[in-house]
Amino acid sequence: MDLSNIKNLKNLEANNFFLLAGPCAIESEEMALRIAEEVVTITSKLKIPYVFKGSFKKANRSRIDSFTGIGNEKALKILRKVGETFEIPTITDIHENEDAAMAAEYVDILQIPAFLVRQTDLVVAAAKTGKTVNLKKGQFMSPEAMQHAVRKVKDSGNDNAMITDRGTMFGYQDMIVDFRGIPTMKQYGTTVLDVTHSLQQPNQTSGVTGGRPEMIETIARAGIATGVDGLFLETHFDPANAKSDGANMLDLKYLEQLLSNLVAIRQTIIKL
């Protein structure tokens, strides 16, 4: 795992897993700074390298009236402010080719959403910015297939690619994590487990995605046990009123205990 290319990523010497965490979407500056401050405090105490996550725009929505964002430039400026205020790297997802160069001016890592990871032009556009590219594994893709997404980034002149597993479709309305995929994908690059999206229950008749947040610690523990390099999770101080993906987010008040438990597991595994 080589993350030394990511600006301001602290605690790398701790030999710990790293964390990508934050709200699903940027709702306001106050909200983003509040969440970032809390997570920075916790991760600094536990010596966990931390990247703030927030979507500047939500393009993949079930219904046309779903929340999509507060405006691209406004949200991106908030992401930049979070990074500068707390001296931490930031990550956001992009959906269109032209998003790559625009978002690269504000954040340190560009994320390719799972539904779009086979879109060659989008992956190449992200790679050509020179930023680290986080490739979400498609819910419909095998772990082995992700080597080709990584190759697209590298063939575009960028060696900084990560892979994130966010579960695999299990029927129409549920997700599962096949933990056999973790060591497989680690052959191709730094590998992350997206805990909260792996617990989504999509395609609900209401048009609002459900989730099973009570299983977050179970999935996270299993991920650490199988050797993931990093964890991805979405968190909010009021998930019930979050404007996007509240049904599967972790309540921020539970984050410190969760991470403390996971650090203990990680330290045990290292000693084996």
With pLDDT > 70 as the criterion, what percentage of the chain qualifies?
96
Give the DSSP H/E element, type plus range, for residue 220: helix 216-225
Q: Given this model, what pLDDT does residue 203 score?
A: 66
- For residues 272 and 264, what is the distance between their CA atoms, to the nearest angstrom? 13
Instruction: Express each pLDDT in 18-51 by its tens digit.
Output: 999 999 999 999 999 999 999 999 999 999 999 9
Which residues make Cβ contacts (< 8 Å) with residue 52, sequence separation at least 6? Answer: 21, 22, 32, 36, 39, 79, 82, 83, 86, 88, 89, 90, 91
Which residues make Cβ contacts (< 8 Å) with residue 167, sequence separation at least 6? Answer: 139, 175, 176, 177, 194, 197, 198, 199, 200
- Residue 160: pLDDT band by 50, 70, 90 thresholds? very high
Which residues make Cβ contacts (< 8 Å) with residue 62, sequence separation at least 6? Answer: 202, 203, 204, 207, 208, 209
Any idea what the CATH number is for the domain that residue 176 is in?
A: 3.20.20.70
How high is the mean pLDDT of the chain? 93
Q: Given this model, what pLDDT does residue 243 score?
A: 85
Q: Given this model, what pLDDT does residue 208 score?
A: 58
DSSP secondary structure, 155-192, as one string? HTT---EEEEE--EE-SSS-EE--TTHHHHHHTTSEEE
Q: Cβ atoms within 10 A of the Cβ of 257, count?
A: 11
Average pLDDT of span 114-136: 97
Joined tokens for residue 157: 């002149």
Q: Is the pLDDT of residue 164 over 70?
A: yes
Question: Higher pLDDT residue, 3 or 110?
Answer: 110
DSSP secondary structure, 93-151, as one string? E--SHHHHHHHHTT-SEEEE-GGGTT-HHHHHHHHTTTSEEEEEPPTTS-TTTHHHHHH
Q: Is the pLDDT of residue 56 over 70?
A: yes
Cα distance between the two ends of the chain: 19
- For residues 61 and 233, what is the distance between their CA atoms, to the nearest angstrom? 19
Q: Given this model, what pLDDT does residue 26 score?
A: 96
Q: Given this model, what pLDDT does residue 69 score?
A: 85
Closest-CA residue to 230 (of 19, 21, 40): 19
Give the DSSP H/E element, type plus range, for residue 61: none
73: containing domain: 3-271
- Residue 68: pLDDT band by 50, 70, 90 thresholds? confident
Q: Given this model, what pLDDT does residue 106 score?
A: 98
Which residues make Cβ contacts (< 8 Å) with residue 196, sequence separation at least 6? Answer: 211, 213, 216, 232, 233, 234, 245, 248, 249, 250
Are β-strands 18-22 and 50-53 bridged in parallel, bridged antiparallel, or unpaired? parallel
Lowest mean pLDDT among 5-19, 170-184, 207-221: 207-221
- For residues 138 and 194, what is the distance between their CA atoms, to the nearest angstrom? 12
Q: Given this model, what pLDDT does residue 46 score?
A: 97
With pLDDT > 90 as the criterion, what percentage of the chain qualifies?
79
Instruction: Express each pLDDT in 184-235 by its tens digit.
Output: 999 999 999 999 999 977 766 666 566 788 899 999 999 999 999 999 999 9
Predicted model pTM: 0.94
Lowest mean pLDDT among 69-73, 242-246, 249-253: 242-246
Number of domains forming the structure of the chain: 1
